[in-house]
Amino acid sequence: ISICRDLPNIEVITFSVNGISDLEPLNQCQNLSELYLRKNNIASLNELFYLKNLPRLRVLWLSENPCCGSDPHRYRMTVLRNLPTLQKLDNQAVTEEELSQALVDGEEITAPPVRRKVENGCPESTASSTAESTTETESELLNFSLEETNKIREELGMKPVPRDKFSSFSPRETDCNRKKRNNVLNAILLLMKELDMEGLEIVQQTVGRRLQAFQKKELQEE
């Protein structure tokens, strides 16, 4: 997610199921309108502190993070009190009545969170997120990652990735390796949106050569 510090004009970010715990890199993304962070390791709603000054943020998907807690009403009211410009939260439309109620039931966030320790390049998980990850099926991970990736590709005017091609994220990989690979893919797709025609042509040529190399290797193995 640190790549977002260098993408101030990015409009849509999809980092669901990626072990993210820190939203500080997003606080300079002034054009951000949609943010998808479902099933990460966001432990505290104080992370919303970094989103409060994003004027164009209209869609946020934050569900199934530890910060949501056991009281869905308090969670939703707190998010809406601090992000009153939202039109949709967790795939559910925001109403005027909710925004008014949030001023009463929601908690005002005035300071950033205390940071958690990070080891070996993978954010430390809370007990609840660890328990959740043990029940997460590989199929669900792939389906959701595919959905989010294809949303980015649609924004870029690219064709969707077929599921049989996306399944290269092997279930045999460790959680950490899969998350790193997903992060790399998302970062590449996000950066492509910043390129002009000349830059995209260079990417296209490079990708073409890489694909030819992979295809040649597969033919040799057969």
pLDDT digits 0-9 by tens, 77-112: 999 999 999 999 998 999 999 999 999 999 999 988
Q: Give yes or no for a contact between 45 and 67, defined as CB atoms under 8 angstroms apart.
A: yes
7 token code pair = 């993408």
Query: For residues 58-74, b (16+ Cβ closer than 10 Å) or e, as one string?
Result: ebbbbbbbbbbeeeeee
The radius of gyration computed from the CA coordinates of the chain, to the nearest angstrom, equals: 19
Domains and CATH numbers, the chain: 2-105 (3.80.10.10)
214 token code pair = 């992979």
Q: Give yes or no for a contact between 44 and 113, defined as CB atoms under 8 angstroms apart.
A: yes
pTM, whole model, 2 decimals?
Answer: 0.56
- Over range 132-146, report the average pLDDT: 50
pLDDT tens-digit series, residues 19-54: 898 999 999 899 999 999 999 999 999 999 999 999
Whether residue 169 is predicted with pLDDT greater than 80 in this model: the reply is no
Whether residue 187 is predicted with pLDDT greater than 90 in this model: the reply is no
Report CA 209 to chain centroid distance, whole Å: 29
Q: Greatest CA span in the chain, whole angstroms?
A: 67
Helices H / strands E in the chain, number of each: 7, 7
Best-predicted range by mean pLDDT among 78-82, 179-183, 207-211?
78-82
182 token code pair = 């997903």
Q: DSSP for 133-201?
A: HHH--HHHHHHHHHHHHHHHHHHTTPPPPPHHHHTTS-TTS-HHHHHHHHHHHHHHHHHHTT--HHHHH
